[in-house]
Amino acid sequence: MNVTYFLVSLGLFLFCIYMLRYALGNYARAKASNNWASITGEIVRIELWGKRKIDGKMVDSEHVRVVYKYCVNDETFSGNKAAFYTLHYPETLEFVKRYPQGSNVPVFYNPKAPEESVILPGLHPQKPNSEIWLAGIGVVISLAVLVGIYTDRLI
């Protein structure tokens, strides 16, 4: 058994387990956010980043960064989560057009922890389980490699 390969594959397996745990937690928070309280907040800063060719020009549009503020029980909070999933082009352009800097925005916040918030609650409409599938496949493949390397020693 090559110890280096074994340790690398063990590290990859543990990382995939961590990502699966993160994906499951994110999934649970996204589902719960559908029932969170809502309040009007304000977009403090919003920017597009990541070049994409649109109409023959390279334009920042692939991803979006957002910062917003909102008040709950006379306490001001700041958030930066647009959604519990990653927005990609063209969702990013639609989001920026809908919520320009300085505009009011509905903020959904966790009533038990008001500092936890999101603008677009819930799971991604077209791919609600994608993070779980990706992390799960990573766990299975990395486990198969780990077992393969370990059992190679036994043969």
Q: What are phi and psi of 135, to 5 degrees?
A: -65, -40
| Burial class of residue 76 (count of CB atoms within 10 Å of its CB; 0-12, 13-18, 19+) | exposed
pLDDT on residue 47 = 95
pLDDT on residue 133 = 82
- What digits encode the pLDDT tens for the residues 1-12? 578 888 888 999
pLDDT on residue 1 = 57
pLDDT on residue 60 = 82
Place of tokens 């961590």: 18
pLDDT on residue 140 = 92
pLDDT on residue 54 = 87
Residues of the chain short of pLDDT 70, as ranges, are: 1, 153-155
- Residues with Cβ within 8 Å of 127's Cβ and at least 6 positions away in sequence, in order, are 85
pLDDT on residue 126 = 77
- What digits encode the pLDDT tens for the residues 71-99? 999 999 999 999 998 888 899 999 999 99
